[in-house]
Each structure stands twice: as C-alpha cells, then as structure tokens.
Structure 1
Amino acid sequence: MASPSALTDHTGYWLRVVSNAVSQEFARKVSAEDVTVAEWSFMRALFDVEPTPPSVLAERMGMTKGAISKLAERLVAKGLVERTENPQDRRAHSLSLTTAGRARIPVLASLADMNDAEFFGVLTEDEHDMLGRILKRLAERRDLKATPVD
C-alpha cells in the first residue's frame, strides 16, 4: 500500500500558509486603526458605489444579508457608516460612509498596500504578476466571488 501524501505535497497547504501569514499581519495592522478586516472590506466595497442597499452589498460581497447587517451595525456604532431611509419605502434603507469613514479609506488602503509589499516584495515583478494572474484565473474558473473577510 502506498504511503499517504504528505501535508506539504498539497498546493492548498502552501496557499493556506501564505494566506494565514498575510491575513494575520494585515489584521494586526488594521486593528491599530480600530477596524477589522471584515469592516475594512465592507467600507472599501461602499467607497465607490455609495449609497448602497444592504442587499446589493451582500450580493456584491458574496455575504449573507445577516452578515452585512452585523457589519453595518458595528460600523454605524463606530461612526464610520450611516443609514439613509428610503423616502418611498420606510422599510428600505441604504448604507454610506460617513465623512470619518471616507477619510479612513486611504489610510486603510495604504496599510493593505504596505502589507502586500512586505509579503510579496520578495518576488520579482514577473513572479508577482504571474502569481496574480494564476490566482485570478483560479477564482474565475471556480466562479469564486465572495470577498474574503477573515
């Protein structure tokens, strides 16, 4: 009987090693700004398309409406997101960044840029481009659309 494959024989293992390291360091960086990675993703998703109904945001991010509602509650409490009621339908509302939330986006984006540079700066430009193309191709071919938030 053949010996089972080693853990390190699997591409998924190496993706997880790198992903965990990149994610944990980024989480540490944004926590210094009093937001989580999920909150940053939520805010960045709103940045270019506000105001946005929660259902649209949930679909765009590949999250449940419940998860979007919880994130919205936390960000409203932090003064970074606001709700606007729909005058035609009082049950409906849209989400937008507050002035404070909008001002945080460049700061948080620079932390994301810094985190990428720290982890992927050890690759040549060609290697980095190739890695990006491969990962995007995998996501497209597997129809992966959910925004990673943890």
Structure 2
Amino acid sequence: MSGCATVVETPAATGQMTDAEMQMLMFRADSAINGGQISAAEQLYSKVVAAYPNDASVWFRIGTAYLRADQAELAVVALREALRIDPTMEKAWPNLAIAHLSQFRFAANKALASKQLSESNRVTLKSLQADVAHAIAPAPEPTKPESLATH
C-alpha cells in the first residue's frame, strides 16, 4: 500500500461513545425499564457503563435494573460502585438497602431449610423475615370514605 491509511475506530469498536450516543442508549434503557423489559435495559446500561465507568448515575441505573430483575448480588455491586464514585448520591441508599433485604430473604430461606439451624436461630430468623416482609410490602390502597364510595 502506498501512503498512510488512517483507521478511524467507531465508538462501538473502542468501547467509547459520544455523549449523544450515551444519552440515546440511556433513553432506550429507561424506556425498556418502564416497559418492563428489564433484560433489554440491563444490556443497554451495560454498554453505557463500559464506556462511562466513572459515571455514578449509570451505575445507579444499572443497579436499579438489576434490582428489578431480582438480581440482588449484581444490584449491590452496581449500587456500591455508584456510591464509591459519588458518596453524596443519596438516592442509591434506599435501593442498596432493598437489595440487601433481598439477599437476606434468600439467605434466611436457605437457612430455614437447613437441618443445621438451632431452634432459637430458627425463631429469630422467622421473626426477622416477618419484619422484613412487613417493611417492604407495598402499602395498601387507602380506603375511600363511605360518602365518596357511593357517589
């Protein structure tokens, strides 16, 4: 070959993307989450986090997607990374707490199924399970006053 050839790598090839591409993928991922397409959202957020590994909001969003997909372990990792990058990101703490509660539920169920669990620990775990279930249960719909219910 004569002359110099300049190879221009595309954002997909380098793992980098423009801010506009990032915003487009984030919009698509947010739309997927809102549409209940959690797996699609995870894939889209993963592409963004690969290109923007120091963006706390991206880690927060993928952590939230993992949480909605019942992948508590991955949610904890992502949410902790968001908080490592931005310790002031207060909105990550509730999701991290819920992810830990999900991990607790899983571990408690395994422990309760074990023959190695003492009776006192079994009673304690069952009590904690009830407390956790009550704490994260959806709030009941408010009842309408009688005067409004008949109209």
TM class by shorter-chain length? under 0.3
Instruction: Give the alignment's TM-score, normalised by structure 2.
Output: 0.28
More helix by share: 2
More strand by share: 1
Instruction: Give the alignment's TM-score, normalised by structure 1.
Output: 0.28
**Greater relative contact order structure (CA < 8 Å, 6+ sep):** 1
